[in-house]
Structure 1
Amino acid sequence: MAQPVAFNVLRGSSTADLILASDFAAATGRTVGSFSDLIPKVPTSEAVWETRPPAPGDRSADDHLDRWAAEARASGMTVRCVLGYCVGSVFGAGLVERISAWQEPPALIVFDPEAPHPALLHRHYLDAIGALTGFLTADQATAARTDGDAALAERTAMPELAKVLSDLVVAHGEPALTRIGLAADRSAELLGGFRAFLSYLVSAAELDPGRGWAAATAITSASEHNGLNTLPAGRREGVVAREIRFDLPHAELLRAPEVAAAVHDLLIEGAR
C-alpha cells in the first residue's frame, strides 16, 4: 500500500494488524524519548504508525482526529492498539473513540498521560528557554523566564497564552541563534516548531479523554510534574483502569528496555 500521509511509519508489516502511536513527533529540538526509541525494542509483528504533527494554526482537535482516523480506516488494517504519550494520550483516547465506529475498540496504553493546562504550556516554555541557555547570558535567561512567569500570571486562556509564549521564544531565541551564526531558515524551523507544539497542546484541550482513559493502561514515570503524578491522591483513583509504575524520569520512559518489555507483555495479553 502507499505510504500514509498523516503518519510516520515506525514499522512496516505484512500482517493486517496496526498499532497507532499518538505523540507530537517533532523532527528537531526534542530531548525526551519518543516512540522511535520504544518501538524497535518491542518485538511485535504489527505495523506501527505514529501521528504526524499538524501544521501550525488554529485547526481543531476534531480536524486532527478526522485526518488520522480516516487514513487508518482507509488502510484496511485492524487497529489492535493505540499508544499515547503525555498530551498525545488525549488524542489517543479520541482515536480509540473514532476507530470504534468501524471495528472493535482497540486497546489503549498511555504513557504519563496528561491533559493540557496553562501551567503545562508554561513548563514547556521554560524547557525551551532552558534549551537556549547555552546561547543566552545569565541576565538574558533570567529575563526570558521572568517574561514567561508574567505571561502565565496574566493570562488564563490557553490560546492567548500559547501565542504570547511562542512570541517570547522567538523574541529571546532568534537574536541568540543569530549571534551564534545559525542560518535564518534553520532558526525559523527550530523556533517555529515550538509554536506548532503549543498549538497542538491547545487543540488537545478541546477534548475530554476521561472515558477513554478509564479503560486504559497507564505506564507512569517517577517524575512528580508529569502525568498522573500531578494529580492529588484522591483524584488519581479511577482515572485509568490499570497503572504500571517505573522508577524512571519522564524523559527516559520511552527509551527504557523494561518499559518496552511491559508494552510487549500488554500487547500479548491483548491478543489473547
Structure 2
Amino acid sequence: MKLAKWRELCDRGPELVLCLDFPGGRAAAGFAELAAGTPVELCFLHIGQPDPAAPAQRLDAHVEEWVGEALGTGRPVRAVLGYCAGAALATRVADAIHAVAPVAPPAVILFDAAAVTGTTLCDQFASSLESSSAHLAAGELDDARQWSAELLDAHPDDLPRVAAGLADRYDRLMAGVADRLSLDEFFRRELTSGFAAYLAYLLLAGQGGLDLRAGMPLFLSSQDHEPPVAPACGLSFDVGREQLLRDTEVSTFVAGLLRGDHPW
C-alpha cells in the first residue's frame, strides 16, 4: 500500500496494528523487531518522522492525518502500540479511532510508557551531546548541562521555548564540532537534523497523555521501568529496556493479545 504518513513494517493480514515511536535509529529494539518476531497475521504500520523544519502543529492535527490515512486504507485497526514517549501518542490515536468506530475500539498496548517533560528534553540534549563529547571543546559539555538546567528553571512549563533553546544551543555546539573535523555544511546539517527531528517528536508527545477516553491501556514494562502513572492493568518482564521489543517472551505474549487469546 502507498502511504505518506505511515511506513509498512510487515503485511501478513488484512487488519492493522499501528505503531507509535520515534522512527530514528537507536540502540534499543523498535517496533520493526517486534513485528518481525510476533507470529500474527496482521499488517504493522509505523508513523513517519515529523519534519522539524515544518511549522509547528498541534498533536490533534497530526492525529487527524495519521488516523485518516490509516482508516482510508479500508482496513480495520486491531491495535495501537506505543513505545516510551510514543505511548502518549498511541492513546490519542486510539481515542480518535474509537470516535469514528466506537463499536470495535482497538486494543492499546504501551511499552515502557513515558511522559514528556522539560526534564525529558534536557536529558535528551545532554545524552546527544555526550555522544559527541570527544569532539567538544574543554568544558563545553559541563557548561551546556548547566545552561540547560538554568533554561528549564526559567521556563519550567514552556516546552516549546525550552526545545527551541536546546535546538539552538545544540546547533551552535555542532557547528564547532564541524569546524574541528573540517566538515562541510551538508555534514554539519546532518549532525543537527536528527536532534531537531527528535525534539519535534517529543514536543508532539508532550501534548498527549497516558489515559484513554474509553477502556484502559495495557502497560508492558521492562525490568526496573516504572510507568509515570499507576496503571490499572500492567505487566513487567524480566528483560532490559533495549531488548524489550525483541524479546521472545514479550513477542509471544503480544501475539496472544493481538489474537485475542488473553484479552484484558
Question: When the two structures are superposed, what TM-score results if normalisation uses the length of structure 1?
Answer: 0.86
The correspondence for 2:240, drawn from 230, 249, 252, is 249
Is the Cα–Cα contact under 8 Å of residues 107 and 270 in structure 1 kept in the other structure? no
Instruction: Tell me how far apart the structure 2 counterparts of residues 137 and 118 of structure 1 sit (CA, whole Å).
Output: 26
Q: Secondary structure at the match of 2:45?
A: strand
Deviation at 1:129, TM superposition (A): 1.2
On the 8 A contact 2:95/2:212 being kept in 1, the answer is no
C-alpha spacing 1:178/1:125, structure 2 compared with 1 (3 Å): same
**Corresponding residue of 2:11:** 12
Matching residue of 2:83: 85
Deviation of 1:222 (Å): 2.8
Give the 5 Å matches for 1:5-154: 5-13=4-12, 15-26=13-24, 28=25, 30-56=26-52, 57-103=55-101, 104-154=104-154
- In structure 1, the partner of 2:220 is 219
Flag structure 2 segments of 5+ consecutive residues without an equivalent. Answer: none
Among all aligned residue pairs of Structure 1 and Structure 2, give the percentage whose two residues are the same amino acid.
26
Write out aligned runs for 1:169-248 (5 A): 169-211=170-212, 215-224=216-225, 228=227, 231=228, 236=230, 239=231, 241-248=232-239
Task: Choose which of 226, 237, 252 in structure 2 pairs with 1:261.
Answer: 252
Q: Please state whether the residue corresponding to 2:143 is helix, strand or coil.
A: helix
Structure 1 unaligned segments of length 5 or more: list them. Answer: none
> Which has the larger displacement, 3-12 or 52-61?
52-61
Do the aligned residues in 1 keep the contact of 2:167 with 2:196 (CA within 8 Å)?
A: yes
Counterpart in the other structure of 2:165:
164
More deviation in 173-182 or 50-59? 173-182
Structure 2 CA distance for aligned equivalents of residues 199 and 258 of structure 1: 33
Preserved contact between residue 54 and residue 64 of structure 1 (Cα < 8 Å): no
How big is each residue's C-alpha offset from its partner over 1:188-237, in whole Å with a ceiling of 9 and x where there is no partner?
1331221222222223333343225961111112345xx50xx4xxx52x
Would the alpha carbon gap of residues 66 and 270 (structure 1) be closer, same or farther in structure 2, given more than 3 Å must change? farther
* 8 Å Cα contact 2:211-2:217 kept in structure 1: no
Deviation at 1:163, TM superposition (A): 0.5
Change (3 A) 1:165 1:210: same
Q: What are the superposed Cα offsets for residues 3-57 of structure 1, whole Å, 9 maximum, x if unpaired?
A: 11101110023x321110011112x5x3332112222111121011001122224
Task: Give the CA deviation at 1:183.
Answer: 4.1
The alpha carbon displacement at 1:187 in A equals 2.9
SS at match of 1:50: strand
Query: How many residues end up aligned between the 2 structures?
Result: 258
Q: Which runs of 4+ in 1 moved over 4 A?
A: none
Distance 2:75 2:216 in 1: 23
Q: Provide the rounded CA distance (Å) in 1 between the counterparts of 2:171 and 2:219.
A: 35
* Maintained 8 Å contact 2:245/2:251: yes
Alignment check: 8 A CA contact 2:92 2:212 kept: no
1:268 positional shift: 2.4
Are 2:94 and 2:106, in contact at CA under 8 Å, matched by a contact in 1? yes
How does the TM-score come out when normalised to structure 2?
Answer: 0.88
1:149–1:88 distance in 2 versus 1, CA, 3 Å: same
RMSD over aligned Cα, in angstroms? 2.2
